Amino acid sequence: MSKVQGGMKCVKYLLFVFNFIFWLSGSLVLAVGLWLRFDPDTANLLAESDAPYNFFIAVYILIGAGGVMMLVGFFGCFGAVRESQCLLGSFFACLLVIFGAEVAAGVFGFLNKEKIIEDVKNYYETALRNNNETLASMYHEVLQCCGTESSRPPELCTVDSPEKDCVTAIENFFNEKLFIIGYVGIGIAGIMIIGMIFSMVLCCAIRNSREVI
């Protein structure tokens, strides 16, 4: 009996620590999502009403997931402390739903990665063709580039302008942003799997201890 209780306490504390880490991870996901949404560089590049929206769809999913993760982590801590099978089962179910949503968001991002980048490239090239100097200059300032390989308008690209073309600069910029989302998502997915295992182990330990009593 004492061994069962000792093992259960060990798992309980491990789950509590995990949930605290999970809560911090949710904070990180939320922070990354808010950074990607309100980062001055990204906001300036996609500020117009007709800007490509696919990038922000993935970002909004990330912000929502971070907020839910923080909430679930808090209730997971409470369930572990109270040794409640009901709360732990709900925690497991929530993790499973979040995991599924994250996989769906990852698939969406992976399938639309090239489209997001291509849309932004077309958006810049359209601004260049329409002589939208305000928007084009914003890209030049943020990305330290000017024009494309085939077009460097003299009114925008002077002798002092950077040699790098903006099509390449846009691709590099958004690849970097999307990789950040991917790396964070993979790390959180691993944490969630561990959390689901711990919650089921603790549920079983609570049930066994009650049966022994």
Residue 8 is predicted with a pLDDT of: 64
Per-residue DSSP letter, 154: T
Residue 213 is predicted with a pLDDT of: 47
Alpha helices per DSSP H over the chain: 2-38, 40-45, 54-82, 85-129, 133-143, 166-212
Q: What is the pLDDT of residues 86-129, one digit of tens each?
A: 777 777 888 888 777 777 777 777 777 788 788 888 888 888 88
Q: Who wins on pLDDT, 122 or 83? A: 122
Residue 177 is predicted with a pLDDT of: 73
Q: How far is CA 36 from CA 58, 61, 118, in A?
A: 10, 12, 18
Residue 43 is predicted with a pLDDT of: 64
Per-residue DSSP letter, 159: T
Q: How far is CA 13 from CA 75, 99, 154, in A?
A: 15, 23, 66
Residue 1 is predicted with a pLDDT of: 46
Question: Residue 178: what are its φ and ψ, rounded to 5°?
Answer: -70, -30
Which pLDDT band holds residue 211 (cuts at 50, 70, 90)? low
Q: Who wins on pLDDT, 202 or 94? A: 94
Q: What is the pLDDT of residues 6-27, one digit of tens each?
A: 666 776 777 778 778 878 878 8
CA distance linking residue 195 with residue 21, whole number of Å: 10
Residue 193 is predicted with a pLDDT of: 82
* pTM score: 0.56
Look at residue 155 and tell me whether its pLDDT is greater than 80: no
CA distance linking residue 179 with residue 154, whole number of Å: 34
Q: What is the pLDDT of residues 26-63, one digit of tens each?
A: 888 788 778 877 777 666 666 555 555 666 776 787 78
